[in-house]
Chain A
Amino acid sequence: MEFYGDHMPPVQQKNGYFGNWGGAFIPEVLHQTFCELRAVYAAARQDPDFWHEYKTIMATYSCRPTPLTHAANLSALFAGARIFIKREDLNHTGAHKANNVMGQGLLVKRMGKKRVIAETGAGQHGVATATMAAKFGLACTIYMGEKDVARQRPNVFWMEKLGATVVPVTTGSRSLKDAINEAFRDWVSNVDTTHYVLGTACGPHPFPEMVAWFQSIIGQEARAQILTQFGRLPSRVYACVGGGSNAMGIFQGFMEDDVELVGVEAGGHGLASGRHAARLASQDASPGVAQGYKTMFLQNSDGQMQDTHSVAAGLDYVGVSPILTDLWEKGRVRFESATDAEVLEALDLTMKKEGIIPALESAHAFVQAFKEAPGMSTDEALIINMSGRGDKDIFTIAHAFNDPSWKQFIIDKGAAYAAGK
C-alpha cells in the first residue's frame, strides 16, 4: 500500500490473533459495537484519504513529523553508538498518545457517535482524549484509578479544564487495569452513543492492531529521518513498554529490517523484589485472558491478577500488547527492564547533557540504551523512542527526586491555601 511510504505496511491480522495471542473475549452486549468498529476500521485502512486526513491533522494540530534529535553529548559520553532520540514529547499534550486519540477521533466522526470514554493511568491518555473530544465536539468521561488521581493531580486538573468528567475508580488496585474495567462497564451501558478510546495496543481485537496502526506513524517517520540524518539504518531501536503502543509505533518502521528491537519494561524495585511490572522481561508472568484479550499477565496460579509497581504510572499494568507478546515469542523483540532508581539516574543525565526532559515512562528506554551504547561501535546508531515529556509531570518527578526545595514550596503553598490566601 503506497500511502504508507517506502516500507512494509503496519501489522494486520484477519482474526485478531497474533500467533497465540490477542482475540476478542467480550461480553455479548458489546458484540454489535465491535462489529461496527471493525467495519469502520477496516474501511479506513483501505482508504488513502483517511490516512491523508490523519497525517494532515497530526501535522496541523500536533507538530508532526516530530524531529529525530542527535544526542551528540550523550553519544560522546558513552563513546559508542551514535544516539538518536525520536521526539514524541513534542506532540500536542506531550506524548505519543495524541497519535492514537486523533486517529480514533476520526473514526468516531465516521461512526457518528457523540460521546467518548477512556481509561488513563499517568493521565497522559486522558488529557489527550479530552483535547480530541473538545476539538471534535464530543462529550468525554475519563476513568482513572483513585491512586493515579492522587499522584497525577495536574493531569486531572487539565482534563477537567478541557471539559471532561474525571471519574476516580475505587475498585481493585485502584490503578490502570481497574480504570479499564470501569470504562468497559460504562461502555456496556452506553454502547449506542459511546466509543471507548482505548489508550494502548491492548484489549480486544481490533484495538491492539488499530492502535498500533495509528502509532506506526512514529516508525515511518523515524526510518526516513535516520536514513537522511545518519545515511543508514540504526543497529538497535529502544522503546519503553507499558501496554505497548509507543513501542509498536516505532518498531513497525523497522520490522522488515536488520534492526534489533528492544522493549524496556518497568523493573520497579527490581525483578527479584516482585514489585515490578515486567511481563516479558521477568519470569513472573503467565498466559491468561483478561480485559478482553489473551496475553502474558502478571497473575497468580488461580488466574487472579497481581498488583504491579512502577515509578511510572503509564507502565504500571498487568498485561502487555498481544502483538508484542507474539514478537517476543518469535524472538523478534528483545525485552529488558529498568528499575525505578536507574530511571531517575538516566533522567538526570539526559537533562544535564542534552537539555531534554523525558517522561518517567520514556526514561526506561534511555536506561537500556545507555547500558548498551558503550559496547557498540562508533559507526553504529541507535534510536530511543522518547514517548513523552517529563516537565509536565513535575509533581511526580520532583517527588521521585525527593527534591527538598520543591517540597518546601509545596508546604508553603499548602499553608497559604490553608490560611485562605
Chain B
Amino acid sequence: MPLGNNLRQAMVQKNILLMTHIVLGYPSFAVNRQVIAAMVKNGVDLIEMQIPFSEPMADGPVIVKANQDALAAGATVADCLDFAAEMTKKHAIPFLFMTYYNIIFKYGEDAFFKKAKELGIQGFIVPDLPPEEGENFYRLAKEYDIAAILIYAPTTTETRMAKLAATGTGFIYCVARLGVTGQATKFDQPVEDYLARCRKATNLPLAVGFGISSKGDVDYLRGKADIAVVGTATIKLVDSEGVQAVGPFIAGLRG
C-alpha cells in the first residue's frame, strides 16, 4: 500500500502519529536493533533510518557526530541495506531512508530504487535534492511507488509549496524553524501560522520536525499536524541513559 494511504489509515485510529529518526551504525547496528524494537513496541508509527554521510550539511551537532562516529566505526552503505532488510522483515511499520544525495548518486539512482523496493523501504527523504536537481529521482519514485518526501521550511513561499506538493508523495516534512536539526523550537504563533500555510498548500499529511522532545511538543502539534518527528532527542537519550530509556520516553510522548 502506498505510504500516504497507509498513514491516513493509521491516523484514523490515533490523532497524531509518531515518526522517529535513527542514524544507522550509531553507536552500532546492535544498539540500532534494540532501539528500533523498543520504539516499535511503544507505538512508533514509522521510522526514518539515516544512512550516514561524511558531509551531513543540514544536520546539527548531535546527528553530525552520530554520522561521523558511525562511519568511523566502519558502517558501509551495504551494511545499512542489510540492516534495513532485517528491520522491514521483523517489524510491520513503514521504514524510510533518509540520506544525502551523494550516497544514492554513487550507488546509482535506478539501482538504489530497485534495491529499496526489494527491501520494502516505503519512502526517501533526501534533504539536498530539490525537485530542480532530482527530475530523474522523483520520476523513479513514482515509477517504483516509493514515497519521495519533500521538505517545507518557514521561508518557503506559497508558490514554492505548491510546486513541492506536486512533486512530493507520502507526506510533507515541515521543518518547524530555520536552522539545523537538534536545537529547540519555540512553538508559538509564527509556527502556528506557518503550519496553517502548509496545510493550505497541500493535501498530503504533514510531518513536523526539528526540536521535538516532549509530550508538550507533541500535544501542541495535535490538530495542526499529522506526524510528530522525534530525532535528536532519542539519540541524546541513548547516549546519556542507554537503550532501556527509549521505551518509557516514547510511550510518554503520547501517553
- Report A's interface with B, CB cutoff 8 A: 23-29, 31-33, 171-172, 177, 181, 184-185, 188-192, 286-292, 299, 301-305
Picked from A28, A177, A191, the residue with its CB within 8 Å of the CB of B164 is: A28
Answer yes or no: B151 CB below 8 A from chain A CBs. yes
What are some 6 contacts across the A-B interface (CB < 8 A)?
A: A28-B175, A29-B179, A171-B68, A185-B180, A189-B180, A299-B106
Cβ contact within 8 Å between B179 and A189: yes
Inter-chain CA distance A124–B123, complex, in Å, is: 44
- Report B's interface with A, CB cutoff 8 A: 53-58, 60-61, 64-65, 68, 71, 76-77, 100-103, 105-107, 127-130, 132-133, 150-153, 155-157, 160, 164, 175, 178-180
Cβ contact within 8 Å between A29 and B57: no
Picked from A24, A177, A184, the residue with its CB within 8 Å of the CB of B133 is: A24
Q: CB-nearest residue of chain B relative to A189?
A: B179
Inter-chain CA distance A184–B60, complex, in Å, is: 11
Cβ contact within 8 Å between B128 and A292: yes
Picked from B68, B76, B157, B178, the residue with its CB within 8 Å of the CB of A29 is: B178
B interface majority secondary structure: loop
Inter-chain CA distance A304–B115, complex, in Å, is: 20
Picked from A28, A288, A292, the residue with its CB within 8 Å of the CB of B105 is: A288
Cβ contact within 8 Å between B106 and A288: yes
Given A302-B77, A303-B53, A25:B101 Cβ within 8 A:
yes
Cβ contact within 8 Å between B102 and A303: yes
Picked from A177, A289, A303, the residue with its CB within 8 Å of the CB of B128 is: A289
Cβ contact within 8 Å between A189 and B77: no
**Closest CB pairs A-B (n = 6):** A303-B106, A189-B179, A29-B153, A303-B102, A304-B54, A28-B151
Given A32-B155, A189-B180, A302-B76, A290:B55 Cβ within 8 A:
yes
Cβ contact within 8 Å between B68 and A27: no
Cβ contact within 8 Å between B156 and A32: yes
Cβ contact within 8 Å between B178 and A25: no
Cβ contact within 8 Å between A24 and B132: yes
Most buried by A among B55, B76, B132: B55
Inter-chain CA distance A181–B58, complex, in Å, is: 8
Question: Within 8 Å CB of B55, what residues of A?
Answer: 172, 177, 181, 290-291, 305
CB distance from B237 to the nearest CB of A (A): 21
Picked from B57, B129, B164, the residue with its CB within 8 Å of the CB of A184 is: B57
Question: Within 8 Å CB of A27, what residues of B?
Answer: 57-58, 127-128, 151, 153
Question: Within 8 Å CB of A32, what residues of B?
Answer: 155-157, 160
